[in-house]
Chain A
Amino acid sequence: MTTMALRNTGTLAWRTLVQIKHNPFELIDFSVQPIMFLLLFTYVFGGAMAGSPAEYLTFALPGIVVQNLIFATMNTGIGLNTDITKGVFDRLRSLPIARSAPLAGRILADVIKQAWAVALLLVIGIVLGFRIETGPAATLGAIGLLLVFAVALSWVSVLVAMLVSTPEKVQIFGFVLFFPLTMASGAFVDPATMPGWLQAFAEVNPTTVVADAVRGLLSGGPVAGPVTWSLAWAGGLLVVFAPLAVRAFRRRI
């Protein structure tokens, strides 16, 4: 039964990834948009924020990676909602396969896409002048932490997908939720200059703690605190949203 579940999950993850071949827009979504953000933030804000683009890149790259990662979790929900509204889920559910596979396959595929986006941003960051001051182990640790956080947060996206009627609504909801969440944080600026109430929010914001953890793991600096907080956020999101999402999933389909 478990080998079947794993194999079914692998097949359905393949199915999600092979779509990229036929829908190049998805690749643009995954690659061009974060690269554009990276270039704009570095060269437009860099000088004003930190004296020089290179200086700012060191601070902002982890923030940009985290912001992109958070937005990309909505793709899980958009894909699931599309499958349900188009009837693909009915076909899958009428087959003798593991019940968990459609959900697990989608999440696995999206983690692979996330890993690709993170790696791409790091490489382009390095081309632009970002330097990893730590080592390969810490770098892998940073990528691992990002992916763990992405999986935990994707349950929010699954829940939203089960509650709304169309994929477009998942997208709108994600934007409204995640745009303020990622901006009102320490991802792009030091929260010290924000008004007190916003500063308080920014400091506990998961965007901030994950970006800080990635900064620590790539550039050196405090690691233990932000990594612990990041994992706590991941755990909290998982504990709250995974059961809600699974319940909504069972009810919807």
Chain B
Amino acid sequence: MSGMDTTYAIHAEGLVKRFGETTALDGVDLAVRPGTVLGLLGPNGAGKTTAVRILATLVRPDAGHAEVGGFDVARRPHEVRGLIGLTGQYASVDETLTGTENLLMIGRLLGLSRPAARARAAALLERFELTAAAGRAAGKYSGGMRRRLDLAASLVGDPRVLYLDEPTTGLDPRSRNEVWDIVRGLVADGVTVLLTTQYLDEADQLAGEIVVIDHGRVIATGTPADLKSRVGAQTVTVRPAVIDETGRIREAVGRVAAGPVDVSGDVVLAPVSDPGALAKLVRDLDEQGLAVAELALRSPSLDEVFLSLTGARA
């Protein structure tokens, strides 16, 4: 359709979007390979939703261009719409219609016959465990049910590319896990997913690759592991078995630490960079006869990575 590379399911270059004085996107590049999940990570107002809206043909970029499945979003929007599914940050099902009616409407809009649309609606409701609520108005659904219905609605047309704009914002942990499982299932079926989220663990759980944006610009790109290693230091945490020994344990940790030692509650923690630090610490504690209830070395969480990348704003 154009000269651009179709090895990417989604490919955007130099996307710029302004709303009056505000620059929502300031030259964003994205590339997502088919059948993978890209996590678009950033704080509120970073430009995530604007990027999704451009890729879903809902707004036109002021500069730059984007292709989905090889079709230019600005010049071939109808073809792009035939490939995508969109689940918005705010559940965009019709609250006055039942679950069945919502899916039936979309099936009919996509050209399915009445019986085919009914069958598709029933199958999706079944798959998302909404069969019991199929005849109830979506406005009466719980948050998790509504999000599942919204996901089902975006899947009626069997999209090859799915945009999930903060799919779990406001959900309880259980509903969040359900949505995650659904997304994993879709990716296993070969669907390409662009996921926006403010939650680092969500990106960590689902995305093979993460793009961090802030103030409309890409500030980091890589796998979750890449991003974690970029911050470097690991953290050692020690929970004393005997509270009175906290002071001496703190001194022992200080001897292997690469930075200041902290005591948080009854846990002693400190950054370490030497690979042998943990072994050295264990020997030291043993020699002094200090008992510990818990001793761990952990990689930085994505939250820490994110904080260090975006400064104070996260």
Residues of A within 8 A of B (CB): 4, 7-8, 11-12, 14-15, 18-19, 22-23, 83, 86-88, 90-97, 101, 253
* Chain A residue contacts of B95, Cβ below 8 A: 86
Across the two chains, which residue of chain B brings its CB closest to A8? B109
Q: List 13 A-B contacts (CB under 8 A).
A: A7-B111, A15-B101, A18-B101, A19-B97, A22-B98, A83-B94, A87-B90, A90-B53, A91-B86, A92-B109, A94-B57, A94-B84, A96-B81
CB distance from A98 to the nearest CB of B (A): 9
Interface majority SS (helix, strand, loop, mixed), chain A = helix
Total cross-chain contacts (CB, 8 A):
76
| Alpha-carbon separation in the docked complex, A12 to B153 (Å) | 15
| Alpha-carbon separation in the docked complex, A253 to B84 (Å) | 19
Interface contact B92-A95, CB-CB below 8 Å: no
* Chain A residue contacts of B53, Cβ below 8 A: 90
Interface contact A95-B98, CB-CB below 8 Å: no
Q: Say whether, besides A22-B137, A90-B86, A90-B88, A96 and B110 are in contact (CB < 8 Å).
A: yes
Interface contact A88-B93, CB-CB below 8 Å: yes
Interface contact B96-A19, CB-CB below 8 Å: yes
CB distance from B139 to the nearest CB of A (A): 8
| Alpha-carbon separation in the docked complex, A18 to B97 (Å) | 8
Interface contact A95-B58, CB-CB below 8 Å: no
Interface contact A90-B92, CB-CB below 8 Å: yes
| Alpha-carbon separation in the docked complex, A223 to B153 (Å) | 51
Interface contact A15-B157, CB-CB below 8 Å: no
Tell me which of A8, A90, A91, A253 has the highest count of chain B C-beta atoms within 10 A of its own C-beta: A91
Interface contact A86-B101, CB-CB below 8 Å: no
Q: Say whether, besides A15-B101, A18-B101, A96-B81, A91 and B92 are in contact (CB < 8 Å).
A: yes
CB distance from A114 to the nearest CB of B (A): 19
CB distance from B112 to the nearest CB of A (A): 10
Q: Which of B38-79 contact A (CB under 8 A)?
A: 53, 56-58, 78-79
CB < 8 Å neighbour of B91 from A8, A87, A253: A87
Q: Is B208 an interface residue (CB 8 A)?
A: no
* Chain A residue contacts of B109, Cβ below 8 A: 8, 11-12, 92, 95, 97, 101
* Chain B residue contacts of A22, Cβ below 8 A: 96-98, 137
Interface contact B92-A87, CB-CB below 8 Å: yes
Q: Which of B95-140 contact A (CB under 8 A)?
A: 95-98, 101, 105-106, 108-111, 137
Q: Say whether, besides A94-B57, A94-B84, A86 and B92 are in contact (CB < 8 Å).
A: yes
* Chain A residue contacts of B153, Cβ below 8 A: 91
Interface contact B78-A90, CB-CB below 8 Å: no
| Alpha-carbon separation in the docked complex, A22 to B102 (Å) | 13
